[in-house]
Amino acid sequence: MITKSELRTRQKQAAALLKRAGILITAREKAAIEIADFGLNEFTRTGLGVLVYVNTDRCCAKELAMWPRQTCPEHIHPPVGRDPGKEETFRCRWGKVYLYVSGPKSQGRHCQPPASPKGAYTIWHEIELNPGDQYTIYPGTKHWFQAGPQGAVVSEFSTRSTDEKDIFTDARIQRITKIA
């Protein structure tokens, strides 16, 4: 849960991160940035700033603003009806992001997940994304990601986004942020 005042402060900070990445947004878009705390009340550790540019029945584009060392927790995009599940491409625009996807455990990993119950993180194959790097995640691929020490701005290009359908490994998580 976050307060309305915290929401506004975080939206300003997210807009400043986007600006640092050279991304210009309108005042209306700034006020529409989602501050996702995943219901864990530790936003700068587990959270994400999300600006949805477009989300139609067929495709979606977003900017993700990440605070230093902030983590988007492990999840998967399941099939929804006839949809085989969301497919998404992450493109790093500014800062650095470490992406963890299904695959062989990487040695010398750069991140620790935030403190959480046993079994909340299970995926350890690391992909480092610097500005200009990108990676496509196909449906059925568990993943989580963490920003580097300065934070990160990541563009996401995807099929239709249905965040409320995402399945998180950590059973405590509530994807839709409550605003008090």
What is the binding site for a copy of itself (CB under 8 A)? 21-26, 29, 53-54, 56, 58-61, 87, 89, 91, 93, 131-134, 136, 155, 157-159
Note whether 125 and 102 are within 8 A (CB).
yes
Q: Which is nearer to a copy of itself, 102 or 134 (CB)?
A: 134
Q: Which is nearer to a copy of itself, 2 or 64 (CB)?
A: 64
Q: Give the CA distances from residue 156 to residues 4, 43, 106, in Å, rounded to whole numbers and listed in that order.
A: 26, 20, 24
Between CA 69 and CA 155 the distance in angstroms is 18
Q: Which is nearer to a copy of itself, 24 or 171 (CB)?
A: 24
Minimum Å distance from CB 88 to a copy of itself?
9
Q: What is the Cβ-side half-sphere exposure of residue 176, based on CA atoms within 13 angstroms?
A: 4
Minimum Å distance from CB 7 to a copy of itself?
21
Q: Which is nearer to a copy of itself, 104 or 132 (CB)?
A: 132
Minimum Å distance from CB 83 to a copy of itself?
10
Minimum Å distance from CB 29 to a copy of itself?
7
